[in-house]
Structure 1
Amino acid sequence: MKSLSLTLLCSLLWLISWCQISNSILLSGNWYKIAVGETGIYKITYNDLINMGVDVNSINPKNIRIYGNGAGMLPELNSQNRPDDLAENAIKVIGEDDNVFDVNDYILFYAQSPVTSNVRQNNTGFEHKMNLYTDSTYYFLNTDIGLGKRITLRPSLTDTPNYIVTSFDDFQYHEVDLFNLLKSGKLWLGEKFDSILTYNLSFYFPNIDTNQINYKASVAARSGVTSSFSILANAQNILNLNVAFVQLYSITSNYFNITTGIANFNSLSDTLNLSLTYNIGDSTSIGWLDYFEINARRKLIMSGSQMLFRDMTSQGIGNISKFIVLNSPISTEVWDVSYPLNIKEQLTVTNGINKEFIVNTDSLKEFIAFDNTSFLTPQFIKQVTNQNLHGLSSANMLIVTNPLFVNEANQLSNHHISYDNISVKVVTTEQIYNEFSSGAQDLSAIRDFTRLMYQKGQDISDSLSQILLFGDASYDYKNRITNNTNFVPTFESLASSAPISSVASDDFFTLLDSLENGLIGSMDIGVGRLPVKTQNEAQDVDNKIINYSTNPNTFKNWRTDLCFIADDEDSNEHISHANIITNTIDTSYDCYNINKIYLDDYIEVYDTLGSSYPSVNQAIENQFLNGSLVMSYVGHGNETQLASEKVLTLATIQSLTNIDNLPFFYVSGCEFGKFDKPEITSGSEGLILNPLGGCIGLIASDRITFSSSSFVLSHKFYDYLFERNQNGEHYKLGEILKIAKNLTSSEADINKRTYLLLGDPALKLSYPEYNVVTTQINDINIQNQLDTLFPGDTINIKGFVADNSGNTINSFYGTIYYKLYDKERMDTTLGNNVNTIYLFLRQDSVLLQGNDNVVNGMFQIQFVVPNNLSSGYGFPKFSYYATNNLIDAMGCFEDIVMSGSQTSIADNIFNEMQINIYPTITSDKLFVKMSSENVDKLRVNINDLTGRNVFNRNYTKSDFTDFSIDVSILEKGLYVINFFDKTNSISRKFIKK
């Protein structure tokens, strides 16, 4: 069983405020890191120092110092006080008076277990708090920066005591962390009740008082029916705990339930034998022990070589208490360890075989008595290289890496410094822990360091905007599982029993305002993670990022392509969500070419292994190989594939070889982005870690998500994906996701926290930077009415490459690649699963493609309209991509009518008249200019991109003089307006803004 110091952690934290010192104490001097596992007095000998590498003969023992911030975890609430850098502890050095550290000299210091305890809210005893991140507390020894802090003597008071202490409060607990049932969240459970249904535990309280003993037990069970636990103490039943049933096959139910109970018991024996039995409800029942806590009173009789004691009943305003430690050897010393940084040696009065002292007990005081015969020994960890994170200047980007990957992190840092002209600082997790969490792993230490760097920024030029976590993470902070991957830890939620509320999120490191806590708040900076587990993986990912940004082979027209994939279930909800986003993009950024791979648009194949979409997988694989600026998926998924029909499996992902055509991938679905489960390689990890292809980065969820909330987040993301900031620059990936999350629902929304960026947050996608402008078609300025074109017609296009101010880039010499897309067409899905078809527009049929030269920024393209142009009138799309392998540009032209047939053209009345609409982008009115002597009546209707009719009206000749149509009531978007007489029609497109 485990007992521990009951010193309140807050007493230490309140002593050391968040003052943001200028330099770390580790800046200079020789430092040696040591570890302890339990609370007590530790001894460092002459030989111990030699084994650490200390030159004992050259040191003055009076200069020996020990630094460390004691037990417990840092707070998650930013505004709560915490240590800033390492604090010096008062120690005792035996034999230092001669200024020489002799063979028989030694150091004594008080150290604490990483587990802390606090007084219960109802003052009925104490409760423990496990350290989630470490099983050791770390201290730092120094020998050469000046005189050290020493434990001072405190005499016993001469006041008359009003309270006599002859017994004290003792506290023990039992908790072993063996199982994380969801492989998610902070909660780990202990002994498993399955094949074994009874466990026995023994606690020893020397010289126990006969007062009541207080027990607290926490147990868990997963069962389809109510089950229970029975607890016996010394063969007497003291507590029965019922645990509620769970819905075994529901993902929205708790996976297990927890019950906690408290009982009191009297014992005349110093040994307490506990027996815990699980009473199974049925064959589905499995139980676990979470923890036991026992509060007991003991007589204040010296027991063992070291004994911690405190008395809750002695504290009170104005109280002066006399402590009588019975049966104390003559060598017994007493230290007051209530404030671990400022320990006092409490002088005592010997009264026979007892030690007595009088102290003020306005507050709870804790002491340790020891007989100087036996001490604990710390474990030497390593000599610490000088460091000074507190003294770092501000930077635009932080890269936090595991020490294993520091070379690769520096390589990526140098790339950003030289290529992106930003300031970058690379720090290791070990360096952060040393200065901000006393050498122990602690998530808040990384966040606190990030917050310090964020606060150092003075303006946009030097302010922190991105943090990259360079290394994989794990739900297991303490390496309890084999092949663990806890290189740079992530935030695991307190919620650990319900799949829909348990989450892992890197957003924790970005919530930097004073009142933000856990995952509640607005992101102040962007964050991304490279989930590398080996140096080879780290180098491969570096190579991908640098190649993506700098290799001339990546300057290809895939940069103008987008691909949207949608699942086929849930009444076409996923297709609808994808279509809404593509319509938004087509309205505002119509020069991007969108390929829609909707599963229900393909034939579903059934066999003994289930259903699948071979054609979908082939289409997706082709899209990867051909390249795409962005790929997107919306629908169901799991850790290693998309959709239930085995779309984009891990095997396919790991076989991709598209290194020069890497897309960015957004996956709006469940668990595909899991990165903290060492037992598997998720689909997202496979895509980012594939050294020969995959993707350059992706956003995906690491847990179960809800479709509606996920859609809101993805829509916000695409709202900013192609936007530019106030400086006219495209946003970095981390910035886009930060903005999207901050604009999405409430700050406490767990769904958005499940989505993370696996990739470099400081990366900008390979957007074509400049514009390709069409000026003339067949020597007619595009501002004028252009002739309708038919198959076999020759078309001559002129234009130029323009900067973002519209000026010709005269120095541009390169190649322009062009495609002619057929007119938009209505497509319909097959209704494979829901027997409900979905109508949608697509424009992805390439009629021809080619390339030509750009000279002095000018180009001219000539070709013949192909015969495979679809029938009917409509608007094709000319798509352009120009590059000189240093810079690139994109553009399109859609304002010309083509028809695949000239049948009855001579009889078409519209051949004798012209219809123009203006402006083609309007917020209220659409003006129609037409001329024809033969048209008396005209019917006008307007359709949105789903084909839905939103306007229908008849007009007569009297309306044609001042012809306008009110479109103010229409929603924003792209529309097709159709004009009809008795037998003919013509169409135009416009945008309602």
Structure 2
Amino acid sequence: MKIFFLLFFIFQRFTFELKDIKIERFIFDNKTYDFIYSPNLNYQYLPSLPNYEEFIFLDSDSAKINILNTSYEIKQDIFLKEEDNKKLIDIEYLGKRENKNLFKIIINPFEYNKDNKTLKIYKKIDYEIKEIKKLEKDTFRFLKEFPNKDLIKIEICSTGVYEITYKDLKNLIPTIDLLNPEYFSLYDADFKEIPIIILGEEDKKFDKEDKIIFLGKEHFSLYTLNNIYWLSLFNLNKGKRIKKYLVSQEKERVINFACESLKIEYDNLCPARSGVLWVSEEINKPTGVYKLRKEYKLSFLDNPISLKKIFLRFWPKNGNINLYIYLNDYLLDSLKFIGQPNYPRFEDFIKEKEILLKKDNTLSLEVVGSGEMVFYFDFLEIEYKKELIFEDKPIFFTIDTFGKVGVEIKNKSKEKEILLFDITEIEEPKLAENLYIDSSLISFAQYFFGKRKFYLLSKRNFKKAIKIERKILGKLEGEYDYIIITPKELYSSALLLKSYRQKTTNLKIGIALLEDIYDQYAGGLREISAIKEFL
């Protein structure tokens, strides 16, 4: 059977107009620079040219920008710290939100020429968004990759190295002993094959001591970080395996520190859903209260040395907001912004190069003033320098350097079976071989050509999936006049409803389990858009 995709285009036209531009001159390091400001733009730190961001929902998950017309002016004798020219208009797909596709439109209305000190300012830009929609699609596009629809569904909850044991599979596939593990394959929620390691596959049998090892990553949505993987045991071709690479102990210099970048969204209680959501926290200082302070423990920092960069995002709602930001009671900066209840826009804050404590670091937000001040704290991103110490937990770290460099990690774990993965390309991790490991030190050396990301752990740190089950895909085939969608916990009630409808109507009635819809139309992810696709 051949599947053809037919495409058509939907055009939406927009106009961007730039107003209220100010160019202010200042002195920095005994040099003169210009700072460009507009209340309608996002400006972050001095070397950056401000830009404009807009968010839009589209039916399609694919779109492109066409520029129709522009008008601009050129300013002479402008002194910027550096060139920061970017694409005039860009569009970025942010993923599914409920049943729509969310995009970010980024407009960079400034173009600076450092050689002749001129600044081109785009005052008006007419553009269109060309949305690409599919008229027909292959509902079972992923099933054609497998000889059959009999799969193992694996659910995980965080990023890390996971193990699937003989016992895990024996309970689901009693004949697992008869299968050749060389033909086992693992797929993500998009049904793209990802590499794995099978310990003990050399004898072409899956025995009691054998394990499947893979690097799983969390899936971000508003409601969960859980992700889904699919294990196929009955394949015609051999599965994809994690590649190995050889490290040495020969080096020109040694480092014992690295960096780590984190994005943190604090859990916030949502009484309407009887649980927590990753949503902005409302900070509300009422009239009559002069000062309100919120503290956030940075307990997730691992052996910190210094802060490289911290980024905070806020959404002002009501009032003239006076915000003071502290790190360990040291004032980082103060911000002033005006709440916009009907047309909220975010405000960003960036600070670089601050000292961190070895533990018990605290970020504090303090609002001061007599009137009402309401805003939302969305998230923080933090990049910091850390000492490399391996104790009882896995460590992520990033090294950005050049040359033949040795990396030394203090070993306080007393573990001997330690693994190092290069996860720079997280979909294609590589396992390092020839690590030096003793009771106090872990070391390796290799050529670095810029930034590399690593994940170090012991075999004791292997994670377990929160759920493993056998699934038969393709259950939703058939035509019905009336369909009852239900979670499996309410399946018995759905049967009663089906029986009642059949007695009172002449309709052909079917029952679709919500879990089956997620599996078949969203790769197992609990995305509400899967229900729309099903219907």
Short-chain TM bin: 0.5 to 0.7
**Relative to structure 2, which stretch is displaced further, 59-68 or 86-95?**
59-68
> Contact conserved, 1:220 with 1:243, CA < 8 A, in 2?
no
The answer as to 2:519 corresponding to 1:434 is yes
Letter in structure 1 aligned against 2:460: T
Shift in Å at residue 151 of structure 1? 2.2
Q: Which runs of 5+ in 2 are unaligned?
A: 1-92, 95-133, 287-291
Structure-2-length-normalised TM-score? 0.57
The answer as to 2:357 corresponding to 1:262 is no
Q: Deviations over 1:115-135 (max 9, x none)?
A: 3xxxxxxxxxxxxxxx23532
The answer as to 2:458 corresponding to 1:371 is yes
Q: Does the residue aligned with 1:327 lie in a helix, a strand or coil?
A: strand
The answer as to 2:336 corresponding to 1:217 is no
Partner Cα separation in structure 1 for residue 257 and residue 176 of structure 2:
46
Shift in Å at residue 34 of structure 1? 2.3
Shift in Å at residue 136 of structure 1? 0.4
Shift in Å at residue 236 of structure 1? 0.9
Shift in Å at residue 36 of structure 1? 1.6
Aligned twin of 2:432: 346
Q: 1:346 to 1:273 in 2, by over 3 A?
A: same
Partner Cα separation in structure 2 for residue 44 and residue 187 of structure 1:
30
Q: 1:322 to 1:411 in 2, by over 3 A?
A: farther
Partner Cα separation in structure 2 for residue 332 and residue 381 of structure 1:
26
Q: Deviations over 1:445-472 (max 9, x none)?
A: 567xx4xxxxxxxxxxxxxxxx84xxxx
Q: Root-mean-square deviation (CA), in Å?
A: 4.7
Shift in Å at residue 430 of structure 1? 3.4
Any residues of structure 2 matched to 1:619-638 within 5 Å, and which? Answer: none
Letter in structure 1 aligned against 2:380: F
Letter in structure 2 aligned against 1:350: Y
The one of 179, 189, 192 aligned to 1:87: 192
Shift in Å at residue 182 of structure 1? 12
Q: Does the residue aligned with 1:232 lie in a helix, a strand or coil?
A: strand
Shift in Å at residue 243 of structure 1? 3.9
Q: 1:419 to 1:369 in 2, by over 3 A?
A: closer
Q: Deviations over 1:674-715 (max 9, x none)?
A: xxxxxxxxxxxxxxxxxxxxxxxxxxxxxxxxxxxxxxxxxx
Q: 1:222 to 1:65 in 2, by over 3 A?
A: same
Aligned twin of 1:169: 259
The one of 28, 32, 35 aligned to 2:148: 28
Q: Does the residue aligned with 1:203 lie in a helix, a strand or coil?
A: coil
Letter in structure 2 aligned against 1:433: Y
Q: Deviations over 1:204-260 (max 9, x none)?
A: 4334344x431112234543x31233222122111333341346xxxxx24x66432
Letter in structure 1 aligned against 2:156: V
Q: 1:376 to 1:162 in 2, by over 3 A?
A: same
Q: 1:434 to 1:100 in 2, by over 3 A?
A: same
Letter in structure 2 aligned against 1:217: L
> How many residues matched?
380
Partner Cα separation in structure 2 for residue 22 and residue 47 of structure 1:
28
Q: Which runs of 5+ in 1 are unaligned?
A: 1-8, 11-17, 71-82, 116-130, 248-252, 451-466, 469-993
The answer as to 2:228 corresponding to 1:108 is no
Letter in structure 2 aligned against 1:199: E
Partner Cα separation in structure 1 for residue 164 and residue 209 of structure 2:
11
> Contact conserved, 1:229 with 1:276, CA < 8 A, in 2?
no
Q: Deviations over 1:636-680 (max 9, x none)?
A: xxxxxxxxxxxxxxxxxxxxxxxxxxxxxxxxxxxxxxxxxxxxx
Q: Deviations over 1:931-962 (max 9, x none)?
A: xxxxxxxxxxxxxxxxxxxxxxxxxxxxxxxx
Q: Deviations over 1:387-443 (max 9, x none)?
A: 277xx79x99997945568879999999xxx989xxx99966534532454311235
Aligned twin of 1:227: 321
> Contact conserved, 1:56 with 1:101, CA < 8 A, in 2?
no
Aligned twin of 2:53: none
Q: 1:201 to 1:431 in 2, by over 3 A?
A: same
Shift in Å at residue 380 of structure 1? 1.2
Q: Whose RCO is larger (CA < 8 A, sep 6+)?
A: 2
Aligned twin of 1:150: 241
Q: Does the residue aligned with 1:266 lie in a helix, a strand or coil?
A: strand
Q: Which has the higher helix share?
A: 1
Shift in Å at residue 367 of structure 1? 2.3
Aligned twin of 1:138: 228
Letter in structure 2 aligned against 1:58: D
Partner Cα separation in structure 1 for residue 433 and residue 305 of structure 2:
27
> Contact conserved, 2:251 with 2:406, CA < 8 A, in 1?
no
The one of 172, 182, 185 aligned to 1:53: 172
Q: 1:410 to 1:150 in 2, by over 3 A?
A: farther
Aligned twin of 1:188: 279
Q: Which has the higher strand share?
A: 2
Letter in structure 1 aligned against 2:314: V
> Contact conserved, 1:321 with 1:361, CA < 8 A, in 2?
no
Q: 1:162 to 1:209 in 2, by over 3 A?
A: same
Q: Deviations over 1:260-310 (max 9, x none)?
A: 211124225233522423425456444443222211122444454422222
Any residues of structure 2 matched to 1:198-209 within 5 Å, and which? Answer: 198-209=294-305
Letter in structure 1 aligned against 2:162: Y
The one of 378, 403, 411 aligned to 1:290: 378
Q: Deviations over 1:316-345 (max 9, x none)?
A: xxx666452423565322222334443322
Partner Cα separation in structure 2 for residue 150 and residue 227 of structure 1:
54
Partner Cα separation in structure 2 for residue 41 and residue 207 of structure 1:
22
Partner Cα separation in structure 2 for residue 49 and residue 279 of structure 1:
55
Aligned twin of 1:486: none
Any residues of structure 2 matched to 1:475-494 within 5 Å, and which? Answer: none
Partner Cα separation in structure 1 for residue 447 and residue 183 of structure 2:
30
Any residues of structure 2 matched to 1:428-507 within 5 Å, and which? Answer: 430-443=515-528, 450=533, 468=535
Q: 1:357 to 1:154 in 2, by over 3 A?
A: same
Shift in Å at residue 155 of structure 1? 2.6
Any residues of structure 2 matched to 1:659-674 within 5 Å, and which? Answer: none
Q: 1:30 to 1:396 in 2, by over 3 A?
A: closer
Partner Cα separation in structure 1 for residue 146 and residue 253 of structure 2:
45
Shift in Å at residue 40 of structure 1? 0.9
Q: Deviations over 1:713-741 (max 9, x none)?
A: xxxxxxxxxxxxxxxxxxxxxxxxxxxxx
> Contact conserved, 1:177 with 1:188, CA < 8 A, in 2?
yes
Partner Cα separation in structure 2 for residue 330 and residue 220 of structure 1:
49
Partner Cα separation in structure 1 for residue 202 and residue 530 of structure 2:
38
Partner Cα separation in structure 1 for residue 447 and residue 520 of structure 2:
35
Q: Does the residue aligned with 2:524 lie in a helix, a strand or coil?
A: coil
Partner Cα separation in structure 2 for residue 326 and residue 338 of structure 1:
19
Partner Cα separation in structure 1 for residue 223 and residue 461 of structure 2:
30
Q: Does the residue aligned with 2:518 lie in a helix, a strand or coil?
A: helix
Structure-1-length-normalised TM-score? 0.33
Q: Deviations over 1:532-556 (max 9, x none)?
A: xxxxxxxxxxxxxxxxxxxxxxxxx
Partner Cα separation in structure 2 for residue 397 and residue 360 of structure 1:
62
The answer as to 2:186 corresponding to 1:67 is yes
Q: Does the residue aligned with 2:202 lie in a helix, a strand or coil?
A: helix
Q: Does the residue aligned with 1:188 lie in a helix, a strand or coil?
A: coil
Partner Cα separation in structure 1 for residue 500 and residue 252 of structure 2:
67
Aligned twin of 2:26: none
Aligned twin of 1:324: 407
Partner Cα separation in structure 2 for residue 367 and residue 409 of structure 1:
54
Letter in structure 2 aligned against 1:333: L
Partner Cα separation in structure 2 for residue 339 and residue 425 of structure 1:
44
Shift in Å at residue 170 of structure 1? 0.3
Aligned twin of 1:236: 330
Q: Does the residue aligned with 1:378 lie in a helix, a strand or coil?
A: coil
Letter in structure 2 aligned against 1:229: L
Q: Does the residue aligned with 1:42 lie in a helix, a strand or coil?
A: strand
Q: Deviations over 1:91-131 (max 9, x none)?
A: 2222333444444433322111223xxxxxxxxxxxxxxx2
Letter in structure 1 aligned against 2:216: A
